[in-house]
Amino acid sequence: MMVPAMVWVVIFGYVPIFGVVIAFQNFRPALGMFGPQTFVGFENFNYVFHIPSIWGVIRNTLLISVSNLTLMLVVPILFALFLNEMKQMGLKRSIQTIVYLPHFLSWVILSGIFIDLLSPSNGAMSALLRMLGITPPDFLGDPKVFPVTVIVTNIWKNFGYGSIIYLAAISGVDTSLYESAEIDGAGRFKKMWHITLPGIRACIVLLMVLSLGGILDGGFDQIFNLYSIQVYSTGDIIDTLIYRIGLQNTNYSVGTAVGLMKSLISFILISISYFMAYKFTDYRVF
């Protein structure tokens, strides 16, 4: 029963891993993937570190991903905590239905929406800001503003979906704890701080640890669909750079070299994070 899947994983999982030899070659597609290519040692890696924008790209990636990861912890937890306090079930359910929705729309759709909405000339957001007497910034065209736009729209898309897991964890907290806290005179916020949060601590730690592996991902789908050449200085990330060097400029070997370095660092981080998750919370993938 496992045979087809094993064949599949060899072809689509392992062949690309061995395909990283491209990074050590002067790769020419016409000769075939494992054909008689010329090996050039670490020349491509040397080249990578001479790309003028490379350090900027690494900085952008880390800045955007660390902000994303931090906000994706804080905002969904806060949202879940406060949603949990809501007693009107109908409204609560409607709110949940609405906030989960953006997660299921692709960045192609959402970038279409945001490019229109945030357009400095005829977008509704700019019109709204002008009405309030604020000069609208060029959300997608100003290098200073672009990373903020990326981070905010990312949290906008995902905070609702991210809160599901915390809501589930909160509903698992022992209700008798709240009752005894009430008897001791604890108010709403005291209960949140001293019962709910410690009650979901394991869940928070687990998600925090597992998110570590994504630290070199700035969100390719999102940035690729929102950025433009005038915001490369602050918006270009590792994955978009790989795409542009490797596939657009057909500089296959250099693209693979960047990808390989990213994969190796991510591999170490993911392994550490799974190991920590296993140690702390007994989390297992299989």
Partner 1 sequence: MKLNAWRKKSFSVFPALNGFVLSVAALTCLLPVVNLLAVSLSGNAAATSGAVGLLPVDFTLDSYAMVIGNKDFWQAFLISVQRVFLAIIITTVMTTMVAYPLSQVSRKFKSRTFYAWFLFTPMLIQGGLIPWYFTLSSLGLVNSIWAFVIPGAVPVFNCFLLSNYIRQLPPALTEAAQIDGAGHTRVLVQIILPLCKPVLATLTLFTFVGNWNEWFQGLILMDTPSKYPLQTYLQVLNRDASSLLGGLTANIQQYINASSRSIKAAQIFVAIIPVAAVYPFLQKYFVKGIVIGSVKG
Give the range of 15-23, 45-53, 178-186, 191-199 binding partner 1 by CB under 8 A: 15-23
What is the smallest separation between the CB atom of 75 and partner 1, expressed in angstroms? Answer: 9
Q: Which of 55, 82, 193, 278 binds partner 1 (CB under 8 A)?
A: 82
Q: Which of 39, 122, 184, 185 binds partner 1 (CB under 8 A)?
A: 122
What is the smallest separation between the CB atom of 14 and partner 1, expressed in angstroms? Answer: 6
Residue 74 interacts with partner 1 (CB under 8 A): yes or no: no
Interface pattern 139-178 for partner 1 (x via CB under 8 A) = -----------------x---x---xx--xx---------
Residues in region 208-247 near partner 1 by CB under 8 A: 220-221, 224-225, 239, 242-243, 246-247
Residue 31 interacts with partner 1 (CB under 8 A): yes or no: no
Residue 129 interacts with partner 1 (CB under 8 A): yes or no: no
3-state secondary structure the chain: CCHHHHHHHHHHHHHHHHHHHHHHEECCHHHCCCCCCEECCCHHHHHHCCCCCHHHHHHHHHHHHHHHHHHHHHHHHHHHHHHHCCCCHHHHHHHHHHHHHHHHCCHHHHHHHHHHHCCCCCCHHHHHHHHCCCCCCCCCCCCCCHHHHHHHHHHHHHHHHHHHHHHHHHHCCCHHHHHHHHHCCCCHHHHHHHHHHHHCHHHHHHHHHHHHHHCCCCCHHHHHHHCCHHHHHHHCCHHHHHHHHHHHCCCHHHHHHHHHHHHHHHHHHHHHHHHHHHHHHCCCCC
Nearer to partner 1, 174 or 221 (CB): 221
Residue 91 interacts with partner 1 (CB under 8 A): yes or no: yes
Number of residues that bind partner 1 (CB under 8 A): 92
The C-alpha atoms of residue 1 and residue 163 are separated, in whole angstroms, by 37
Residue 56 interacts with partner 1 (CB under 8 A): yes or no: no
Distances (CA, A) of 8 to 12, 260, 286: 6, 22, 19
Residues in region 191-210 near partner 1 by CB under 8 A: 203, 206-207
Nearer to partner 1, 60 or 222 (CB): 222
Nearer to partner 1, 180 or 228 (CB): 228
Q: What angle do CA 81, 213, 197 make, to 5 degrees?
A: 20
Residue 265 interacts with partner 1 (CB under 8 A): yes or no: no
Give the range of 45-53, 120-128, 137-145, 177-185 binding partner 1 by CB under 8 A: 120-128
Distances (CA, A) of 134 to 13, 130, 131: 51, 5, 7
Q: Which of 65, 67, 76, 79 binds partner 1 (CB under 8 A)?
A: 79
Residue 88 interacts with partner 1 (CB under 8 A): yes or no: yes
What is the smallest separation between the CB atom of 24 and partner 1, expressed in angstroms? Answer: 12
